[in-house]
Structure 1
């Protein structure tokens, strides 16, 4: 039987050690580590996500038990206090930079979204934010209400592979539009968002930058109706009309669409004048994928309880969560075997410290049936 390193060792090869060390040297504060390292911190936090460990003690004890199987990764024993101090003090920007490098690798493998084919291979982004409840007494920086703390995670999801392309974290009371204005979306791309991002000045900015958007129109929105668009309407399209918005220049478009399943009529607003009205409705339906993304990471990874109380510790854990998500996505895209992200995660959880070929775990060889099997013999 051929020798295999542990599954953990195989899956972290996506992070070349020399690249990781260069980031660790760049984003380091304080004195040099003696036996502990940022690599040890990362492997510990990654293992915690893959195995469902939710406390510092649990992480340390889990890795100490497996010391004989992970020594080749260059990880030395460490204490809870050392890991906690690194989470609190060492800049989370290192993991943000690591996330960006892994994102590029995943985007190179990610399949194109076949539902929408735009000119010049334009990208589609799904924009939304989710609340993460925090205890105000433990996380005083995460102000939300008088007696409640919360952080808000802002994500712009790349529809090709559903990868988190833009990420930010703010206090719970921070409005979504403030983070949206900071996005640097590529020209000719499409962005879809809900009514929480309503801001006419931002719409104007997107239009001026050559970015097309699709959103819901508020019921109290004041618009000046223009010409109705010509052509046969697709099933479900009740209205397709050009409109002007108060206070900004340019021509926009209102689409009223009847959803057959719910029987509810929706009104959409867009500056995309060159796509069918039914596509406008389909683009907004695609926004549901970012809701599923938030639901998935909250159910399968540890992003609701944290290993530290400072903003840096919270951001460190969030970036490791997102790196874990990209790690799973990378193996999903690379294997091309059709397993879901959850199936790959379960395989990793059960075999993380086993010495088995990870690719064979994803695609185990089919058993060969012998022609001389007594039960299959016709004689």
Structure 2
């Protein structure tokens, strides 16, 4: 029902947008293998930039570059204004936030710890901060030379190790605690890239030309998409007692040791009439 609501209805019901998590992963090898993608020293490498719809684990957009390409340059290709963009410090350029505001791109992006805050004004609250939240205020970002045109909301908190985490956003209705929870969803794309590297043998590049390298990356992504599709469809059909996590499904599938109900589902899925 929610997916069929039009935009005015969604606004009236205050149905939040889905979170879109953006990040990249780098794969490095010796310079001799990829001379067309040099990095510092005697290394070479390529990058896979991607965005993931939080909670669903579905890929939204993917693009590829050489390893020395800043993440910020690929952000335009993997974001979407119908989502709330969640990203780390590599995507936190102050001037870009002004563009996001004009383009109606909502975001929650981590800032560098040395970010300058111009004329901060604390936001009013009726309750004390919960959890690790320390501050919630609005300000312009940057020094005089890089000062943002608009004011943005800043939420300061600490991570489990006590390190500072500074989040910038153009969302004003959610609480500071809700903003922090949005950013915590970012771990999902870290898990996704780790899964790609560990299970699909991506760090071992089979070719040296751009077509071979990037073809291998996209083949790996296709395998992930197919497995995720089978998992989502199967988990919705099997009995509650047979439901699995994606990690469990992947492990048992590779061992050819899925529960009987899953085996029946997969057999019927791929049996020709």
Using structure 2 for the length normalisation, give the TM-score.
Answer: 0.80
1:308–1:253 CA distance, 2 compared to 1 (3 A): same
Note the C-alpha offset of 1:332: 1.1
Question: Structure 1 residues 182 and 351 mapped into 2: Cα distance closer, same or farther (>3 Å)?
Answer: closer
Contact 1:252 1:273 in 2 (8 A): no
Cross-structure match for 2:218 = 319
Matched, 1:341 2:243: no
Q: How does 1:228-377 map to 2 (within 5 A)?
A: 228-231=122-125, 232-236=127-131, 237-246=133-142, 247-259=147-159, 261-336=160-235, 337=238, 338-351=243-256, 359-360=263-264
Question: C-alpha displacement at 1:225, in angstroms?
Answer: 2.8
Unaligned runs of 5+ in 1: 1-107, 109-117, 364-379
RMSD across aligned C-alpha pairs, in angstroms? 2.6
Equivalent in the alignment of 2:90: 196
Is 1:129 aligned with 2:24? yes
**1:5 counterpart residue number:** none
User: Which is helix-richer, 1 or 2?
Assistant: 1
8 Å CA contact 1:155–1:168 kept in 2: the answer is: yes
1:175 Cα deviation after fit: 0.7
Q: Which stretch has the larger CA shift, 171-180 or 216-225? A: 216-225
Counterpart position of 2:271: none
When Rg is computed on C-alpha atoms for both structures, the one with the higher figure is 1
1:152 and 2:57 equivalent?
no
Aligned length: 242
* Distance in 1 between residues matched to 2:229 and 2:31, nearest whole Å: 36
SS of aligned partner of 2:77? coil
How many Å separate the matches in 1 of 2:195 and 2:230? 17
Going from structure 1 to structure 2, the CA distance change for 1:250 and 1:171 (only over 3 Å counts) comes to same
2:215 match: secondary structure: helix
Retained in 2: the 8 A contact 1:143–1:150?
yes
Deviation at 1:148, TM superposition (A): 0.8
Match of 1:141 in 2: 36
Give CA-to-partner distance per residue, 1:7-39, whole Å, 9 cap, x none: xxxxxxxxxxxxxxxxxxxxxxxxxxxxxxxxx
Distance 1:273 1:207 in 2: 12
Deviation at 1:241, TM superposition (A): 0.7
Q: 1:313 to 1:197 in 2, by over 3 A?
A: same
Which structure has greater strand proportion? 2
Deviating above 6 A after TM superposition, structure 1's stretches of 4 or more consecutive aligned residues are none
On the 8 A contact 1:134/1:142 being kept in 2, the answer is no
Q: Distance in 2 between matches of 1:207 and 1:292?
A: 30
Question: In 1, Cα distance between the equivalents of 2:80 and 2:264?
Answer: 39
CA distance in 2, matches of 1:162, 1:304: 22
Unmatched 5+ residue regions in structure 2?
4-12, 268-273
Aligned to 1:36: none
- Residue 334 of structure 1: how far off its partner (Å): 0.6
| 1:293 CA drift (Å) | 1.1
Please, what TM-score do these two structures have when normalized by structure 1? 0.59
Relative contact order higher in (CA < 8 Å, ≥ 6 apart): 1
Counterpart-to-counterpart distance in 2, 1:258 and 1:348: 39
Look up the match of 2:9: none
**Further displaced range: 273-282 or 231-240:** 231-240
Matched, 1:163 2:58: yes
